[in-house]
Amino acid sequence: MEDDFYATIKFKNGEEIFAKVVYEEDEDRILLLLDNPITIDKIKNRGGVHGYKVEPWLRTTTEDLFVVNIEDVLTMSETKDQQTIIMYETFVQQNHSLDSNEIKLNRRMGYISTINEAKRSLEKIYKIK
């Protein structure tokens, strides 16, 4: 990506994300290309220690790049905070390594059956009628 930068983006609907951003002008509108956008939540445990929970912005997709119309953005702030950038880069790297190491299921891992077959088998074992 050319001329990319890290930014926190607050959408008009209240969502807040962090991503590597590229600014694109397309005829009569401005688009943002978001590379691996994430959400960051601050968490606190019982001992008072603070930590961060990092998750992908959209959890049900394997896409890395998203296009957003600037009209949907309330505000955007470029960041040079190294701690946040390192947290982002670490998450992206770990997320990509998990995707490449997906394990295929096979019969040697255990029993594969339908729900009805498993139900009948368990009913037979425990003699439930």
**Statement: the pTM of the whole predicted model exceeds 0.95:** no
16-26 and 73-78 beta bridge pairing: unpaired
Query: What is the rounded CA–CA span in Å between residue 18 and residue 113?
Result: 41
Q: Domain boundaries in the chain?
A: 5-126
- Note the pLDDT tens digit of each residue in 50-67: 888 899 999 888 888 999
- Note the pLDDT tens digit of each residue in 30-49: 999 999 999 999 888 877 77
pLDDT level of residue 99 (50, 70, 90 thresholds): low
DSSP 65: E
Helices of type H across the chain? 82-100, 115-126
Q: Scanning the structure block, which residue is given the tokens 């905070």?
A: 81
Q: Which two tokens stand for residue 108?
A: 């040697």
**What fold characterizes domain 5-126?**
SH3 type barrels. (2.30.30)
How buried is residue 88: exposed, middle or buried, by Cβ count under 10 Å (0-12/13-18/19+)?
buried
